[in-house]
Amino acid sequence: MITMKHYLAFCLFSGIIFFSCQKKDTPSVSNSLDPKIESKVDSLVSLMTLEEKIQQLYGDPANGFWQSPNKRLEIPALKFADAGLGIRMEGPGTALPCGTAMAATWDTSLMQRVGVLLANETRAKGYSVCLAPLVNISRLPIAGRFFESLGEDPFLVSQMSVSQIKGIQSKDVVACIKTIACNNQEWKRMIIDARVSERALREIYLPSFESAVKEAGVMSIMSGYNKVNGLYCAENKHLLTDILKNEWGFTGFVVSDWGGTNSTIPTALAGLDIEMPGAKFFGDSLLGAVKEGKVSMGIIDDKVRRLLRTRYQIGLFSNPPVKDTAVLHSTESKQLALEVAQKAIVLLKNQDNMLPLNLKKIKSIAVIGPNAATAFIGGGGSSGVNPFYSIAPLDGIKSKVKNITINYALGCEHKEKLIYDADAKRSIFEEIIPAGILKSSLNGKIVNGLKAEYFNNNKLEGTPVIEKIDPVIDFIWQGSPNPEKLEKGNFSVRWSGTLAPEKTGNYRIKIGSSDGMRVFLKDTLLFSNWYDLGCYEPRSSEVIYLEAGKEYNIKVEYYNKKGGTAAHLTWVYQDAPNPYLADAIDAAKKSDVAILFIGFNKNYEHEGLERVGAMELPTEQNELVKAVVKANKNTIIVLTGGGPVNLGLWENEVPGILETFYLGQETGNAIADVLFGDINPSGKLPFSFIQNKSQSPVFANAMPADDIQYYTEGVYVGYRWLDKNNVSPLYPFGHGLSYTTFNYSDVKIDDLGKYNYRVSFKITNTGGFDGSEIAQLYIKDKECTVDRPEKELKGFVKTHLSKGETKTVSIDLNRRSFAFFSEANNKWTVEPGEFEIQIGSSSRVIKLLDTIHIKPE
Taking a C-beta distance cutoff of 8 angstroms, is the pair 526, 519 a contact?
yes
Q: At a CB cut-off of 8 Å and minimum separation 6, what does 265 contact? A: 289, 294, 295
Q: How many CA atoms lie within 13 A of 854 on its CB side?
A: 28
593 in helix, strand or coil? strand
Q: Rounded CA gap, 775 and 811, in Å? A: 10
Q: Rounded CA gap, 108 and 150, in Å? A: 12
Q: Rounded CA gap, 176 and 616, in Å? A: 34
Q: Rounded CA gap, 829 and 820, in Å? A: 5
H, E, C per residue of 763-789: EEECCCCCEEEEEEEEEEECCCCCCCC
Q: Rounded CA gap, 317 and 5, in Å? A: 54
Angle at 415 between CA 413 and CA 416, to 5 degrees: 130
Q: Rounded CA gap, 361 and 523, in Å? A: 62
Alpha helices (H) in 381-424, listed in sequence order: 393-400
Question: Phi and psi of 777, rounded to 5°?
Answer: -110, 120
Extended strands (E) in 45-197? 80-82, 129-131, 174-180, 193-195
Give residue 188's identity as a one-letter amino acid code: K
DSSP character string of 248-305? S---SEEEE-TT----SHHHHHHT--BB-SS-TTTSHHHHHHHHTTSS-HHHHHHHHH
**Closest residue by Cα to residue 566 from 679, 441, 428:** 428
Q: Which helix (H) or strand (E) holds 760?
A: strand 756-765
Q: Rounded CA gap, 206 and 233, in Å? A: 13
Taking a C-beta distance cutoff of 8 angstroms, is the pair 521, 510 a contact?
no
577 in helix, strand or coil? coil
Give the strand pairing for 524-528 and 517-521: antiparallel
Secondary-structure breakdown of the chain: helix, strand, coil percentages, each rounded to the nearest 5: 25, 30, 45
Beta bridge partners of 487: 490
Give the strand pairing for 820-822 and 806-813: unpaired
DSSP character string of 9-41? HHHHH--TTT-----TTSPPGGG---HHHHHHH
Beta bridge partners of 682: none
Q: At a CB cut-off of 8 Å and minimum separation 6, what does 339 contact? A: 110
Taking a C-beta distance cutoff of 8 angstroms, is the pair 182, 713 a contact?
no
609-626: string of b/e by CB count within 10 Å (b at 16+)?
Answer: bbbbbbbbbbbbbbbbbe
The residues assigned a catalytic role are 257
Q: Rounded CA gap, 740 and 772, in Å? A: 9
Give residue 229's identity as a one-letter amino acid code: N
